[in-house]
Amino acid sequence: MVTYNHEDQEKVDGFKGWWDKYGTAIVIIMTGMLATAGAIKAWEYYQQKQAQQAGDLYVLLKQVQAGNDSEKINDTAQLLMQGYSSSGYAPRAALIAAQADAHAGNNKRAIQNLQWILDHAKETEMRDLARLRISGILLDEGKYDEALRFLDDGYSEAFSGLYLDRKGDIQVATQRISEARLSYQEAINALDKSNNYYNIVQMKLDGLGNSE
């Protein structure tokens, strides 16, 4: 049996009293902390696993894309969009699916996939690109007012040249040549001269000449 001197015994008794008063609460707190730490570890593992699975699916999608089968591309893209909607791969999968649909002439589904990006993508650039693609499809369908509406929803500075160019295309299609000329010029001002698209827009502007 362990014996203590008077001073040590007082310390032991004091600790026992303190433990009797606070011990249960401390155990509960410590258990909660351990459970929280375990939950954090589990969540981190889950996120890593999700990211890995999404990445694997995206690699598969790129392989399927090479076959140019819009149905298979969409089926694979939907696995990412529905199962891993919060991942960065999902909006890129939707973009690939939309491109395949547009090439196959399925504009309705292409727009649906692009709209999914607008509704779910976290990256501003992805939403900007989706709006630009939608406006292009609507332009081809002759839905000029709708096409302009998507351009007017706003865009980041990096996309200003492309948006202004698309706006000019719509204005040309609606015979608003003076406005188109201004849009093309603004697009040229926004684009870097090293950008290959710079020369394309310049040719569009030159092609308008002085016509009204």
The encoded tokens of residue 162 equal: 């492309």
Residues 134-173 have pLDDT tens digits of 999 999 999 999 999 999 888 889 999 999 999 999 999 9
Sequence-distant (≥ 6) Cβ neighbours of residue 106 within 8 angstroms: 70
Residues 96-115 have pLDDT tens digits of 999 999 999 999 999 999 99
Q: At what angle do helices 177-190 and 196-208 cross, to 10 degrees?
A: 160
Q: Is the pLDDT of residue 209 over 90?
A: no
- Longest C-alpha distance within the chain, in Å? 109
CA dist list (Å): 15 to 11, 12, 19: 6, 5, 6
Give the integer Cα–Cα distance in Å for 68 and 80: 18
The percent of residues in the chain predicted with pLDDT above 90, rounded, is 60
- How many helices (H) does the chain have, and how many strands (E)? 9, 0
**Domain boundaries in the chain?**
14-122
Q: What is the mean pLDDT of residues 118-130?
A: 96
The pLDDT confidence band at residue 202, using thresholds 50, 70 and 90, is very high
Sequence-distant (≥ 6) Cβ neighbours of residue 9 within 8 angstroms: none
Q: Is the separation of the CB atoms in 100 and 70 below 8 Å? A: yes
DSSP H helices, 66-88, are 70-83
